[in-house]
Amino acid sequence: MTYIHWAPDNGEVHHYTDTGGLIGIIQGKKFWATNIQFMNDSLEYDFGLQKVAKSLDDALERLRSNDSEETPFTAELQASVQTVIRMLRGAGSNPKDGQYVCCFSRHPDDLGQWRGYAKDGYCITFDEELLTKSLASSQPDERAVRCGNVDYGGQAFGWTEAEYTDAVLKRMHEILHNPDSNLSDYGFSADDPIFGEIVDQKDLSALAAIAGVAAVQGPIPFLKESCFAAEMEMRVCVSHPHGVKFRTSAIGPIPYAELAFDPNSIKAVTVGPGLNMNLRQATLEYLLAHEFGKDHEIEVQNTGLSFRG
């Protein structure tokens, strides 16, 4: 059974963390985006990849069965779609290597997340727009940073996937079988430092596959299994971030990237359930006053949950 969780849309997102994470975020004004293959969900990226790959296969089968005049099935298109899937799966490289993720929640006071991520810890509330804009500007190319709600079980993707992937195959077909088309209409330029040579050579098979990958790879890091739906996650995904570091963990060194943010985006900090809540609130207030001055406008509050920890 899939559960649909209501997520408040009030322009806020929340980050659950322990005391060490709180200090690092407040004093460093940075988040750590973790490489996607070393996160808690062992199927990160793989679930989304399988979902998208199946959607492309289904779209190709629809063309084969329906014999569409607008986008007819061709062997060249079939080969190009198979190339897209191979590219998404790595084709000799690991596509997850360059994907880094920082996680937030739509839920401001959730027992499951206190237990999972912030035992005797804190929840920092942010203005979503200020936060995401500043995180994007921390990278040399802001286009490398994408933000969005996680789609659990591919439910939101499922509402439009057939229509969308049909449109992707139509575009690939146009590139493959219309040699007189203007490639700039599909986003290709001979001046592009990466694909310019392919454009000059008019390698239509390669360009069609590249267009297909570009069209479908975006949702992959935002698709997760439905069993995680209670987290109501909004995530920030960074592709090939500038500067990768490593931190210690129980499984060895974990790659991460630092993303600077605007501290003005912090709206509130909630003290989580557990021991010494009054003392933890007092030390939190001291930290905030030390970093932002006594007149800061960050609200400090205690959890509304009666859980003792």
234 bridge partner residues: 104, 149
pLDDT in tens, the chain (309 residues): 444 455 567 899 999 999 999 999 999 999 999 999 898 777 788 899 999 999 999 999 999 998 778 889 999 999 999 999 988 887 555 667 889 999 999 999 999 999 999 999 999 999 999 999 999 999 998 988 999 999 998 887 777 888 999 999 999 999 999 877 788 888 888 888 877 888 888 889 999 999 999 888 888 999 999 988 989 999 999 998 988 999 998 889 999 999 999 999 999 999 999 989 999 999 999 999 999 999 999 999 999 997 776
| C-beta of residue 216 within 8 angstroms of C-beta of residue 169 | no
| C-beta of residue 60 within 8 angstroms of C-beta of residue 169 | yes
Largest interatomic CA distance in the chain: 72
68: helix, coil or strand?
A: coil
| pTM, entire model | 0.87
- Distance between CA atoms of 26 and 29, rounded to whole angstroms? 5
Distances (CA, A) of 227 to 4, 17, 152, 154, 232: 11, 21, 8, 12, 11
- Distance between CA atoms of 175 and 206, rounded to whole angstroms? 10
Q: What is the 8-class DSSP label of residue 272?
A: P
Residues 6+ apart with CB under 8 A from 50: none
Distances (CA, A) of 151 to 1, 136, 229, 293: 16, 21, 8, 39
